[in-house]
Structure 1
Amino acid sequence: MAAAPEAKFTEEHVLWVKQHTPKLITFAISRPESYRFSAGQFSRLGFRDGEGFIWRAYSVVSAEYADTLEYFAVLIEDGPMSAKFAEMKAGDTILLDKTATGFLLPERFPDGKDLVMLCTGSGIAPFLSILEQPEIWQRFERLALVHSVSYPQELIFNQRLADLKDHPLIGEYLDKFRFIPVTTRAETEGALSMKRIPELLANGSLAAHLGCTFNQADTRFMICGNPAMVKDTFQTLLDLGFTMHRNRLPGQIMMENGF
């Protein structure tokens, strides 16, 4: 006999909601003591909807050791989940699937010296979690995060990334890290502007900006974002001679569509 739906999720409380722009929100929910995930994985979040349920997957922003679970969502016009999020406030109830999943995990790479994380929009979420894990800083010699958005006001995590220097577990390693913001529809001071990540890879300007050379022996790429970006970036890396990482056939690229 199949388990009742209620056996597969817990009811959690919304702790806070922050609206950064009309379309971008972050929020945190209570974390059950039994809930486990690896940095880079995603949760299934849900709401009761009439006689049924509505579920969507969202990458966890929090560190593995955090007491709460934080998420980043983009509100989509006429999206049923977005409509729930738009009304959500502290104290509300939200459903959490008991099992986290996903394979965007840097520990799957068996080797490599440099980890380059490429993302658009909410695709930054898993990398924020990964960057709070001390093991990742000890494992790689250099880490780079490239976050591409349309306009500068969508770069809502710049300060959070800058504050990593004061993080008690990883602050000492920050000399290994470079953050590269990208804005595709506006000229922005301090960012690479008016070009998409695939073009920045293809013309060599991203590597030049990071002051390094991408190569198969040392460089490992993780990609997360909208499907068009993931597809185009993956193809660009293939054209540059990199290959998809598979458990039985190690490569240099891992990717996942953002949620």
Structure 2
Amino acid sequence: MAASPEAKFTEETVLWVKHHTPKLITFAISRPESYRFAAGQFSRLGFHEGEGYIWRAYSVVSAEYADTLEYFAVLIQDGPMSARFARMKAGDTILLDKAATGFLLPERFADGRELVMLCTGSGIAPFLSILEQPEIWQRFDRLVLAHSVSHSDELIFNGRIAALREHPLVGEHAAKLTFIPVLTRETSGARLYKRLPELLKNGSLAEAAGFPFTQENTRFMLCGNPEMVKDTFQALLGMGFAMHRNRIPGQILMENGF
């Protein structure tokens, strides 16, 4: 007999909501003691809608050990979930699927000395969670996070990334990280100004990272809009890198942002 829908989710409380721009919000919800996830995974969040439900997947921004669950969302015009988020406030109720999922997990790489995380928009969310895990800093000699957005006001996590230097668990390793903000429709407020696939092809991204990307040492994780993920993947294939699979080790893991 199939479990009832109610058995698969919990009702949680919205703790706070912050509107960074008219389209970008972050928010936190209460976390059940039984809720487990690995940094890089996503939750399914939902609301009651009529006699049914509306669900969408959002990567967890919080560290695995955090007491609350934080998320980052891009509001889409006429999007049913976005409409809910736009009017959401502290104290509201939100539904949380009991099972986190996703395979954008750095531990899937069996080797490598450098981890390069490439993202657009809300695709930065899983990497923010990953960067708060001490294991990632101990595992890799160098970490690179490149966040590509259209306009400078969308680089809302620059301060959070800079604050990793003072993080009680990972701050001592912070010098390993190179953060590269990227803009595609402006020419101020970032280090680079073209799409990520182009920056890979012309060598600008490796130059900004401070080391050459090699099959032996460099591992890539991609997350963001499907077009970026597809084009970046193709650029990496053209550079000699390969998709990582459970039985066939490679250098690339990827996931479309939600």
Q: TM-score, normalised by structure 1?
A: 0.99
Q: 1:257 is matched by which residue type in structure 2?
A: N
CA-to-partner distance for each residue in 1:8-36, whole Å, 9 max, x for gaps? 00000000000000000000000000000
RMSD: 0.5
2:137 corresponds to: 137
Provide the C-alpha distance between the structure 2 equivalents of 1:43 and 1:112, rounded to a whole number of angstroms: 28
CA-to-partner distance for each residue in 1:140-190, whole Å, 9 max, x for gaps? 000000000000000000000000000000000011000000000000134
Q: 1:113 is matched by which residue type in structure 2?
A: R
Provide the C-alpha distance between the structure 2 equivalents of 1:51 and 1:210, rounded to a whole number of angstroms: 51
Provide the C-alpha distance between the structure 1 equivalents of 2:159 and 2:84, rounded to a whole number of angstroms: 28
Matches within 5 A, 1:206-217: 206-217=205-216
Matches within 5 A, 1:84-123: 84-123=84-123
Runs of 4+ in structure 1 deviating by more than 4 angstroms, as ranges, are none
Matches within 5 A, 1:80-229: 80-193=80-193, 195-229=194-228
**Overall identity of the aligned pairs, in %:** 78
Provide the C-alpha distance between the structure 1 equivalents of 2:205 and 2:10, rounded to a whole number of angstroms: 43
Superposed displacement of residue 65, structure 1:
0.1
Superposed displacement of residue 209, structure 1:
1.2
Superposed displacement of residue 256, structure 1:
0.1
> Which structure 1 segments of 5+ residues have no match?
none
Provide the C-alpha distance between the structure 2 equivalents of 1:232 and 1:213, rounded to a whole number of angstroms: 20
Provide the C-alpha distance between the structure 1 equivalents of 2:179 and 2:22, rounded to a whole number of angstroms: 25
Provide the C-alpha distance between the structure 2 equivalents of 1:177 and 1:225, rounded to a whole number of angstroms: 20
Provide the C-alpha distance between the structure 1 equivalents of 2:216 and 2:74, rounded to a whole number of angstroms: 36
Matches within 5 A, 1:5-154: 5-154=5-154
Provide the C-alpha distance between the structure 2 equivalents of 1:190 and 1:147, rounded to a whole number of angstroms: 10
SS of residue in 1 equivalent to 2:43: strand
Provide the C-alpha distance between the structure 2 equivalents of 1:157 and 1:188, rounded to a whole number of angstroms: 16
* Alignment check: 8 A CA contact 2:243 2:250 kept: yes
CA-to-partner distance for each residue in 1:216-236, whole Å, 9 max, x for gaps? 000000000000000000000
> Which structure 2 segments of 5+ residues have no match?
none
**Which of 70-79 and 182-191 deviates more?**
182-191
Aligned residues, how many? 258
Provide the C-alpha distance between the structure 2 equivalents of 1:62 and 1:222, rounded to a whole number of angstroms: 18
Q: TM-score, normalised by structure 2?
A: 0.99
* Alignment check: 8 A CA contact 2:152 2:189 kept: no
1:235 corresponds to: 234
* Alignment check: 8 A CA contact 2:62 2:68 kept: yes
CA-to-partner distance for each residue in 1:92-131, whole Å, 9 max, x for gaps? 0000000000000000000000000000000000000000
SS of residue in 2 equivalent to 1:192: coil
**Which of 182-191 and 149-158 deviates more?**
182-191
* Alignment check: 8 A CA contact 2:15 2:90 kept: yes
